[in-house]
A = this chain, B = another copy of it.
Amino acid sequence: MTRLVIENGVFVTGDAVRPVVKGYMAVEGDRITELEEGAYPGQPGESNVQRLDARGKLFMPGWVNTHGHAAMAYLRGYGDDLALQVWLSEKMWPNEAKFTAEDVRCGTLLSIVEMMKGGTTTFVDMYDHMDEVAKAVEESGIRAVLARGVIGLCPPEEQDRKLQEAIRFAREWNGKADGRITTMMSPHAPYTCPPDYIERIVQAAHELDLPIHIHMSETIREVEENVAQYGLRPAAHLEKLGVFGRPCLIAHGVHLTDDEIDILCRYDVRISHNPGSNLKLASGVARVPDLLAAGLLVSLGTDSSASNNNLDMFEEARLAALIHKGVSGDPTAVPATVAFRMGTADGAKSLWLPDTGVLKAGMKADFIGLDNNRPHFYPRTDYVSHIIYSASAGDVTDVWVNGKQTVKNGECLTLDEEKIKAEFQRRYEGIIGR
């Protein structure tokens, strides 16, 4: 097996024991096998070693984006700054309804190029035509946790068909692409799925032994409607339906009471915090300092580029570190180290991928290299601070996922970026024109 040794680098590990290592890292197969201070000593009689001089590069675990809908890239910039209902009913839904499987494939590929080049090595996708998404993941080399998002506001036969499709997809793709793909079951949200349908999806998740991913409490309005319709706020409602009896990741969780936080703690429910999307759609500011204080696992997601409008996880981590300070009045709220962890190690844990998200011998080799020589990385004070408060996706030069390099000097090695962009623009015009 070829051994890759990255020498003379600065490694921001995410490991509390050794947060920064100035030295070398070795990778064999899909794993990190060594991460040590100082010069690489070499090994007696070593052959099959690829040595990479990484002077001026800063390495960190790849970002883990725990919530999104990659194919929605078609609707980036298509009707911003509108009231939420107008945006959804006039801009999003009518166009999404026109997406074909091929549109989803190409839209997902564009988002994967953007994410990988920007340093994301794992992403969550909840959408339709998921076989196409899975194939795009397989081809690109990225890691992903995928779920067919099921909306249950439809006749029983359609409900049945969607549920069977979600089950088939989850079963068929779990563990595929050298283990880079895992799957979840996804009732879209309490407000788009009748209770009995959610219960059926939970039952299927039990049978498949898979986690559940669901939108919850993104807006005040959906919380109020949940109370009006079911007499319960969303967390209690989902608890009652057994959703939290499965390992569960909720997206958003903006509007939560103390009682709801208690419920989430009781079941170790994971929360994907999507600050960019929550701000842009004016959904509000999640109670992240309270969620963290309660011991909940909070990670970061971009949501789709229709409501963000990019897939830059540096920006998401920066927003998480900034807004809770500004809104709470406490400059120590969500420090840089916490935002870093939310976007990397805690993201990985939130997706039940415990051997990714940290640079350490024995972990999966999912990591990224940044050009550490740009002016905004000076002076050499605090690397984590620079990553969170100063860097951005454009600083990423190299990406490895599962031990394989997917981006080199800013070029995507696994996908034909120019071809994808051209096809994407053609398809966009087709969708809007239809």
Nearest Cβ in chain B — how far from A380, in angstroms?
Answer: 6
Q: Which of A14-22, A26-34, A71-79, A232-240 contacts B (4 or more CB under 8 A)?
A: A71-79
Do B336 and A80 touch (CB < 8 A)?
yes
Q: Report the minimum CB–CB distance from A90 to chain B (whole Å).
A: 13
- Neighbouring B residues of A114 by C-beta, 8 Å: 374-376
Chain A positions 293 through 312: 1 when the CB is less than 8 Å from some CB of chain B, otherwise 0: 00000000000010011111
Tally of contact residues, A, Cβ under 8 A: 72
A326 & B77 in contact (Cβ 8 Å cutoff)? no
Cβ of B428 and Cβ of A329 under 8 Å apart?
no
B382 touches A329 (CB 8 A): no
Question: Among B76, B322, B381, which residue has its beta carbon within 8 angstroms of that of A279?
Answer: B322
Chain B nearest CB from A391 CB (Å) reads: 8
**Contacts of A326 on B, CB cut-off 8 Å?**
278-280, 282-285, 323
- Judged by a CB distance under 8 angstroms, whether A386 is at the interface is yes
8 Å CB interface, A312-341 against B: 312, 315, 318-319, 321-323, 325-333, 335-336
Report Cα–Cα, A53/B180, bound state, in Å: 43
Contacts of A285 in B (CB 8 A): 326-327
Q: Which of A333, A374, A379, A395 has the most CB of B within 10 A?
A: A379
Known: A323-B323, A378-B110. A83 touches B332 (CB 8 A): yes
The answer to the question of A81 belonging to the interface, with a C-beta cut-off of 8 Å to chain B, is yes
Query: What residues of chain B lie closer than 8 Å to A262, measured between beta carbons?
Result: none
| Contact A325 to B279, CB < 8 A, known contacts A73-B378, A376-B114, A385-B80 | yes
Give the contacting residue for A276; candidates B110, B322, B428; CB below 8 A: B322
The answer to whether A76 touches B327, judged by C-beta atoms less than 8 angstroms apart, is: no
Contact present for B381 and A329 (CB under 8 Å): no
- Chain B hits for A392, CB < 8 A: 312, 315, 392-394
Indicate if A373 sits at the interface (CB-CB under 8 A): yes
Which residue of chain B is the closest to A281 with respect to CB atoms? B331
Contact A279/B390 with A335-B81, A378-B425, A379-B428 known, Cβ cut-off 8 Å: no
- By a CB distance below 8 angstroms, the chain B residues around A83 are 331-332
Q: Give the contacts of A23-78 with B (CB-CB under 8 A).
A: 73-74, 76-78
Number of chain copies forming the complex? 2
Task: Contact check, A381 vs B77: say whether CB atoms are below 8 A apart.
Answer: yes
A183 to B135, CA, bound (A): 59
**Least distance between A306 CB and chain B CB atoms (Å):** 10
Contact A78 B282 (CB under 8 A): no
How far is the CB of A23 from the nearest CB of chain B, in Å?
20
Q: Name the CB-closest residue of B to A254.
A: B326
Chain B residues contacting A379 (CB-CB under 8 Å) are 73-74, 76-78, 424-425, 428-429
In the assembled complex, the CB of A146 is this many whole angstroms from the nearest CB of chain B, namely 20
- With contacts A77-B381, A80-B385, A394-B395 known, is A279 near B323, CB below 8 A? yes
In this assembly, does A84 line the interface, its C-beta being within 8 Å of a C-beta of chain B?
yes
Does A389 have its Cβ within 8 Å of any Cβ on chain B?
yes
4 A-B pairs besides A76-B385, A276-B322, A279-B323 with CB distance below 8 A are A76-B376, A84-B331, A310-B389, A323-B326
- 23 CB < 8 A contacts A-B: A76-B376, A76-B385, A76-B390, A77-B382, A78-B381, A80-B382, A81-B331, A81-B335, A83-B332, A87-B331, A114-B374, A279-B326, A280-B322, A282-B326, A282-B330, A284-B329, A305-B376, A309-B386, A309-B389, A323-B326, A375-B421, A379-B428, A392-B394
Nearest 10 Cβ contacts at the A-B interface: A394-B394, A279-B326, A379-B428, A77-B385, A309-B389, A81-B335, A282-B331, A114-B375, A77-B381, A279-B322
